[in-house]
């Protein structure tokens, strides 16, 4: 590999590490704010941001690992397989119970918010099943396979409806 490309790669990894640290710090500050807030609506919005911020940190960590030569095959397959099967079963039970509750909700606004939770439960179940499939084949997976699987999960995440997304993005730009 050309030394200039290697140096650039190290520089990018360092920038990813810095971004991860910023995300971690933001999540920490937002958590303090969340814990000091009493209003359940404000807490919900702040919690959504905290979860996304932590997810961003995890994505940065994954990019760092995949681009730093970390092997991805070092996974305790037996333990993870057992744990995932338990979680898949529990997630399916939560989904089925939730769908039953959703059928009883008649108020349109309540139904819309509840449906967001049910959509998340469906996605969580799908991701856990996919992860179990990955763990079962981990010894055969290449770096490119990991990237492909990560993109598939990210695409599933993008399919969640973003109510009024353009308006909120624009409002955020104006606030800067």
Q: Which residue's structure tokens are 């999960």?
A: 153
54 pLDDT more than 50:
yes
> How high is the pLDDT of residue 163?
39
Alpha carbon distance 3, 78 (integer Å): 40
> Residue 161: helix, strand or coil by DSSP?
coil
Q: What pTM, to 2 d.p., does this model score?
A: 0.72
CA distance 116 to 50: 17
pLDDT digits (tens, 9 = 90+) for 130-176: 888 888 887 777 777 877 877 877 776 665 444 333 433 334 444 44
The count of other CB atoms within 10 Å of the CB of residue 164 is 9
φ, ψ of residue 10 to 5 degrees: the values are -65, -40
Please answer whether residues 94 and 121 qualify as being in contact, where contact means their C-beta atoms are separated by less than 8 angstroms.
Answer: yes
């Amino acid at each position: 590999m050309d030394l200039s490309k290697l140096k650039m790669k190290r520089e990018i990894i360092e920038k990813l590490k810095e971004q991860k640290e910023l995300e971690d710090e933001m999540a920490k500050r937002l958590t303090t704010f969340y814990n000091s807030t009493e209003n359940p609506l404000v807490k919900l919005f702040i919690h959504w941001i905290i979860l996304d911020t932590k997810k961003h940190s995890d994505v940065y960590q994954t990019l760092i690992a995949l681009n730093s030569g970390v092997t991805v095959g070092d996974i305790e397959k037996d333990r993870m397989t057992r744990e995932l099967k338990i979680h898949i079963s529990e997630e399916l039970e939560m989904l089925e119970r939730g769908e039953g509750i959703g059928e009883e909700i008649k108020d349109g606004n309540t139904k819309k918010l509840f449906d967001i939770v049910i959509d998340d439960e469906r996605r969580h179940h799908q991701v856990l099943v996919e992860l179990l499939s990955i763990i079962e084949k981990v010894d055969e997976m290449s770096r490119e396979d990991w990237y492909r699987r990560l993109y598939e999960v990210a695409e599933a995440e993008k399919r969640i409806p973003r109510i009024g997304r353009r308006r909120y993005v624009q409002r955020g730009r104006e606030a800067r």
